[in-house]
């Protein structure tokens, strides 16, 4: 029973770590892109101060969510993609930690109840994350960003590819959203079955331990 539980939890862990790795990569790209433009903005402000001219930080600076260099984009344009990347990455990191704790629960069954409660709360956030991803990818702003073929470069990336486009990121986000929708129910089944079987196995082991202890007490009493 514990082996079955471990197999289910292992399948769930594979799902969340794979999806999480892609979302962390996308988030790191966006964050590094924004950091570079913030640094350039601060340098421009310092140069303006030395020259004795006025300069307001943040004015005219386009961040990742504004699809910089895309023809026709406006300063009030915001795709919210970075938020979707970060939110999903954090959720899957939380799931990974909870599932690892579930493996420990196969040895210490008392952990299962605590992990189960946390898993239920995280599952609600997971559902919200899937909805947000779909909204931000397929609304008008998301479709506009997905059409931006301008390239941007980053110095560091989790997957090793340093040159990207918003069209590429939009396509990857679309694929991730489809995977989340397809795997949502299987993931829930894997975690529920793994947790249920593991908890049941722990309770049975505890009952056997109590029964054995009662037998020992009986023998010591009437021996």
Q: What is the pLDDT of residue 18?
A: 95
Domain that holds residue 119: 2-222
Q: What is the pLDDT of residue 193?
A: 80
Domain count, the chain: 1
Which residues have CB under 8 Å from 64's CB, separation 6+?
Answer: 29, 30, 31, 33, 34, 81, 82
Could you tell me the two tokens for 88? Answer: 């999903």
Q: What is the pLDDT of residue 108?
A: 67
Q: State which residues of the chain have pLDDT below 50.
A: 70-73, 205-219, 222
Q: What is the pLDDT of residue 195?
A: 72
Per residue in 79-129, pLDDT (tens digit) is 999 999 999 999 999 999 988 888 776 666 667 777 777 888 899 999 999
Longest distance between any two alpha carbons in the chain, whole Å: 99
């Amino acid at each position: 029973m514990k082996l079955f539980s471990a197999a289910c939890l292992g399948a769930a862990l594979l799902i969340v770590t794979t999806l999480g790795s892609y979302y962390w990569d996308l988030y790191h790209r966006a964050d590094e892109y924004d950091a570079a433009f913030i640094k350039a903005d601060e340098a421009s402000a310092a140069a303006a101060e030395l020259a004795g001219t006025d300069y307001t930080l943040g004015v005219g600076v386009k961040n990742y969510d504004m699809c910089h260099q895309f023809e026709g984009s406006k300063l009030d344009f915001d795709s919210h993609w970075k938020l979707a990347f970060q939110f999903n990455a954090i959720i899957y990191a939380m799931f990974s930690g909870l599932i690892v704790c579930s493996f420990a629960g196969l040895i210490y069954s008392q952990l299962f109840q605590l992990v189960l409660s946390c898993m239920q709360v995280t599952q609600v956030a997971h559902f919200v994350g899937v909805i947000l991803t779909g909204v931000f990818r397929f609304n008008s702003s998301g479709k506009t960003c997905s059409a931006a073929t301008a390239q941007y470069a980053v110095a560091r990336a989790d997957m090793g590819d340093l040159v990207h486009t918003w069209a590429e990121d939009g396509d990857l986000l679309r694929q991730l959203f489809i995977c989340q929708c397809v795997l949502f129910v299987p993931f829930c089944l894997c975690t529920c079955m793994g947790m249920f079987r593991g908890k049941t196995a722990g309770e049975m082991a505890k009952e056997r331990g109590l029964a054995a202890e009662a037998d020992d007490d009986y023998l010591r009493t009437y021996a």
